[in-house]
Amino acid sequence: MDIPQLQGKPPVTVIPIHGQPRNQTHHLPKNHMNGYYQLKQSDNGKFHFNLYSGNHQVILTSQMYADRSGAINGIKSVQTNGTSDANFERKQSTNDEPYFALKAANGQAIGRSQMYSSEAARDNGIKSVQTNAPSEDIREEK
């Protein structure tokens, strides 16, 4: 049985407890599918971060930063600049694969995407960054 999604929220099947109906479906709270930042330190001691969508897919990867505070400032820059379409450069790789780069208002590179199979998929990636960039959920990998 197909269950329509309400307001773009994925349905969640509730496990029956104490005789509740088996086919009851609820939708996740609005903030459940929010994206998040994952801050990591590489083997060479430098830091970088990824922005993940609510479905745990990497949608933006930062440059390398010399220290943790630089990476945190990079996250703040994505939070500030990642919602404006004007800050995205739509590009093609040497293999003709579409991707995008996010730049700050001053033109400094903040991060870039994966390679996409089509321009439409790339544009959906940009929309996902715009949606998830304001997230204040920063997870640090130790």
Q: Classify residue 75: in a domain, yes or no.
A: yes
Neighbours of 58 (CB within 10 A): 12
pLDDT band at residue 5 using 50, 70 and 90 as cut-offs = very low
Q: Classify residue 127: in a domain, yes or no.
A: yes
Q: Classify residue 3: in a domain, yes or no.
A: no
Q: Classify residue 135: in a domain, yes or no.
A: yes
Q: Classify residue 72: in a domain, yes or no.
A: yes
Q: How far apart are CA 129 and CA 123, in angstroms?
A: 10
Q: Classify residue 9: in a domain, yes or no.
A: no
Q: How far apart are CA 116 and CA 24, in angstroms?
A: 37
Residues contacting 3, CB < 8 A, separation 6+? 11, 25
Q: Classify residue 92: in a domain, yes or no.
A: yes
Integer angstrom CA distances of residue 131 from 64, 77, 138: 24, 15, 16
What confidence score (pLDDT) does residue 23 get?
A: 40
* Count of structural domains within the chain: 1
What is the tens place of the pLDDT at every residue in 64-123?
999 999 999 999 999 999 999 999 999 999 999 999 999 998 899 999 999 999 999 999
pLDDT band at residue 26 using 50, 70 and 90 as cut-offs = very low
pLDDT band at residue 33 using 50, 70 and 90 as cut-offs = low
Domain residues for the domain of 97 are: 35-140
* 72, 78 Cβ separation under 8 angstroms: no
**Secondary structure of residue 25 in the 3-state scheme:** strand
* 98, 116 Cβ separation under 8 angstroms: yes
* 110, 59 Cβ separation under 8 angstroms: no
pTM: 0.75
In CATH, what number is assigned to the domain containing residue 117? 2.30.29.80
Q: Classify residue 20: in a domain, yes or no.
A: no
